[in-house]
Amino acid sequence: RRGLIIGIAAAAAVVLAAGIITPIVIHNNNVKRGDELAADFTTKLDAYNSTWNAENIGVLDDVSLASQIPNGDIGGFSDGTISSIGTACEDLATVKEKRDELANASVPELVEDEAATASEAYVDAQSRAEALGSQRAEAETLLSETETLYGDMQEFCDNIGAYGDANAKMRENEAGVYQDAFVVENGGRFDSSDGSVYWLCEAEGGCPNLYNSDTRNQYADAFQTTYVGYAETMVDLYENNCIMTRYADACAVGATEWQKAADAGQKFVDHLKNNEPTVEVGQALYPQLNDLLTDSLDATDAAKRAVAEKIREIDGSGSSTTGGAINDYFRDKEAEIATLVENASN
């Protein structure tokens, strides 16, 4: 019987030891598992941080269109302005590449495993994963806002050149065919066909000879080419080459209002071509011509204002010109991006 008791006691000791060893083994396995998960997360986090860091994030603030867009009508930008905008657009291409790199960075995730909390390394990884989660909220906001802004910037860059070309062509015509139509020098005179009446030219840039049908038509054609043609080009641009999708409503207004300007200019041209000048001393050559010219100029100014007002309505900008209103939009958005970049870099 004593031997039986000893045997039972020995068996109980073995069972007891197994009961102690098993939790130790489980704990050690959990620690090992946690260490492995933490190590895997750390490796991926290091790779992520090699891309998503303050230096790379800072690149997203390295482009500014606002600084290059003057307070004027976008259809009147000089070649120098268009060139400066082009340089900024080259910067945009570089910045967009960096944004895509950041957006495509693989964001590490720590595998959730309650038992793995037995590992100090895993617990530390949990803290880093939680911090990363908070950072990603700011990162996603930055990526979303830059996607919108850079999209608008790219549209502007793609389209502004055509508006610049329109202005350059008008200036070329002004210095060319239009100026060529001023055939009478300042101080010179032009006579009616019967020689009974003459007009003195008292304009520094010279005058068109409106008594002669050929030179009168030359002047009318030059006005049509230079100014009516420009207005018609602006109609086409606003209809088919809107500066930015966000301003689609403003472009619709632009197409309508610039058509009015083209029509007003055409009335000036038609009046010259379809009517003979007055041949009376003391009377204007074309009594209605100044009013028609004023109507044309007013319609042009009204078209510019109408587009700017619509952009201002869309953005809440206070600028009275299309260039100024677009400048306001980019300036405000660029400032927002600068703040988001700073937050995401910390």
What domain count does the chain have? 2
Residue 293's CB is within 10 A of a number of other CB atoms, namely: 18
| Whether residue 263 has pLDDT greater than 70 | yes
| Whether residue 135 has pLDDT greater than 70 | yes
**Are residues 262 and 297 part of one domain?**
yes
**Are residues 270 and 244 part of one domain?**
yes
CB 102 within 8 A of CB 145: no
CB 219 within 8 A of CB 210: yes
- CB-based contacts of 327: which residues, under 8 Å, 6+ apart? 66, 69, 70, 71, 319
Q: Which of 46-55, 85-94, 123-132, 274-283 has the lowest mean pLDDT?
A: 274-283
**Are residues 132 and 183 part of one domain?**
no
Q: Can you say how many angstroms the Cα of residue 230 is from the centroid of all Cα atoms in its chain? A: 24
**Are residues 301 and 276 part of one domain?**
yes
| Whether residue 20 has pLDDT greater than 50 | yes
Residue 345's CB is within 10 A of a number of other CB atoms, namely: 17
Q: For the chain, what is the mean pLDDT?
A: 92
| Whether residue 186 has pLDDT greater than 50 | yes
**Are residues 99 and 30 part of one domain?**
yes
**Are residues 279 and 250 part of one domain?**
yes
**Are residues 168 and 80 part of one domain?**
no
The pTM of this model reads 0.84
Structural domain boundaries, residue 18? 2-108+120-153
**Are residues 216 and 77 part of one domain?**
no
Residues 96 and 88: their CA atoms lie apart, in Å, by 12
CB 268 within 8 A of CB 296: yes
- CB-based contacts of 125: which residues, under 8 Å, 6+ apart? 37, 38, 41, 42, 110
| Whether residue 267 has pLDDT greater than 90 | yes
**Are residues 187 and 140 part of one domain?**
no
The pLDDT score that the predictor gives to residue 21 is 60
Of the chain, the percentage scoring pLDDT greater than 70 comes to 93
**Are residues 102 and 48 part of one domain?**
yes
